[in-house]
Homo-oligomer: A and B are copies of this chain.
Amino acid sequence: MGLYEKIKIDLQRGRFRPGEVLKQANLAELYAVSRIPVRDALQRLQSEGWLTPHGKRGVAVPLFDPLEVEDLYLMRMRIEPLLQTLALNKLNGEILGRARDILDTLEQDPGLSAVQIGALNWQFHACIYRAAGRPTLFAAVEQLHRQCGRYIGYQSGKLGYQNTSQSEHHHLLDSLQAGRGEEAAIQLRDHIEGAGKQLVNYLRTLSE
């Protein structure tokens, strides 16, 4: 596993506090490597929103920002239905079957962590999106999900949402399977909107 992923996981798990400033030398010692690979990892983590520039020098762990989440979900609401619609005429039994398998995994395994649930959620939508054959759009959506990833530990933290989300996934898949594309686009939009609102509200309660 690359250093980038190690640091990302530690950020997900809250090993570094929001607001904390990270020094290359510290990280190099912590992960037992030199500063060169640390620099590479930090640059990438920065481009994905896991870290923010700090003054003229160094990077910091960003604070949780409800406005950032709102922006991310506003974009997702507008781009993901588009991509899904572009995939409509490419969908077939095999793809939809894979999607259904992922939903099954989500339901049958009760001991999944928030991060694992988030990863499976993404895989579900991604296997549909990928079918569109639009690499640029797909990469942009993937990037938005990576940025949201910083917060998803908190999304499932609010328990009970998982059930709602899961039934929405099933309805969505049914619409796709039945060829009701416009309905599926609306469902997806609402699905994203709901998740976003849920997350923003939860973050706002945290800062009270």
Instruction: Give A contacts to B, CB under 8 Å.
Output: 36, 39-40, 43-44, 47, 65, 67-68, 71-72, 74-75, 78-79, 82, 134-137, 140, 144
Contact = CB atoms under 8 A, between A and B. Distances in A.
B140 A67 contact: no
B140 A75 contact: yes
A125 B39 CA distance: 33
Contacts of A44: 43, 47
A72 B40 contact: no
Contact of A134 (B36, B67, B82, B137): B67
Contacts of A137: 71, 74-75
Nearest to A49: B136
11 contacts: A36-B36, A40-B40, A40-B43, A44-B47, A65-B136, A68-B135, A71-B134, A71-B136, A72-B136, A74-B82, A74-B137
A71 B133 CA distance: 11
A186 to B, nearest CB: 15
Given A44-B47, A68-B136, A79-B79, 4 more contacts: A40-B40, A65-B136, A71-B137, A74-B82
Contacts of A39: 40
